[in-house]
């Protein structure tokens, strides 16, 4: 993650900076070690798929980074870590359907990717989403995901999270 996370997530932060900012937000909000780990690793699918902002199709083609990341992590972490990772993209769709101000606050890039990720959830999709275990953690993670794009923010290094992540391993 340290090496491959140097590609840019957007114009402001690298993949690694984004992950560390998400984890820092989790810690600032007294999140559990499992949710903090999920926050740190939620976009690992982008790194696995080598998706970044220099790829012209990055926001136009959905390679399901959330599913790829969750599947990659499942042998090592419990569902309470991997489910919010798997659901953080559907969580954006859910929040857009349930909170008009949420959609208005999305960056242009996030609004653009929303279209290829399925758009705003229907009533039926929302009802089904609410039945999935850990969906509330996914909503929390999603909000941190949206906030974790601050250029040149002073944050803890990756090593800071080693013990937290290790406690979550299966």
pLDDT in tens, 24-60: 999 999 999 999 999 999 999 988 888 765 555 655 6
pLDDT in tens, 114-124: 999 999 999 99
Decide if 138 contacts 87 (C-beta within 8 A).
Answer: yes
Global pTM reads: 0.90
Exposure string over 74-96, b if 16+ CB within 10 A, otherwise e: beebeebbbbbbbbbbbbbbbbb
Domain range 4-168, its CATH number among 3.40.50.720, 1.10.3210.10, 3.40.50.2000, 1.10.1050.10: 1.10.3210.10
pLDDT in tens, 58-96: 556 788 999 999 999 999 999 999 999 999 999 999 999
pLDDT confidence bin for 8, thresholds 50/70/90: low
């Amino acid at each position: 993650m340290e090496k491959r996370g140097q590609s840019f997530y957007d114009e402001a932060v690298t993949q690694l900076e984004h992950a560390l900012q998400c984890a820092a937000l989790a810690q600032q909000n007294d999140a559990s070690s499992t949710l903090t780990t999920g926050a740190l690793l939620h976009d690992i699918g982008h790194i696995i798929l080598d998706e970044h902002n220099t790829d012209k199709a990055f926001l136009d083609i959905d390679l399901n980074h959330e599913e790829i990341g969750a599947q990659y992590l499942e042998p090592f972490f419990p569902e309470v870590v991997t489910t919010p990772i798997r659901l953080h993209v559907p969580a954006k769709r859910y929040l857009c359907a349930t909170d008009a101000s949420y959609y208005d606050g999305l960056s242009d890039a996030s609004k653009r990717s929303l279209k290829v990720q399925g758009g705003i959830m229907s009533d039926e999709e929302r009802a089904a989403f609410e039945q999935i275990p850990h969906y509330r953690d996914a909503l929390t993670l999603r909000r941190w995901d949206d906030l974790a794009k601050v250029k040149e923010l002073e944050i803890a290094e990756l090593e800071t999270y080693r013990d937290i992540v290790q406690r979550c391993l299966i």
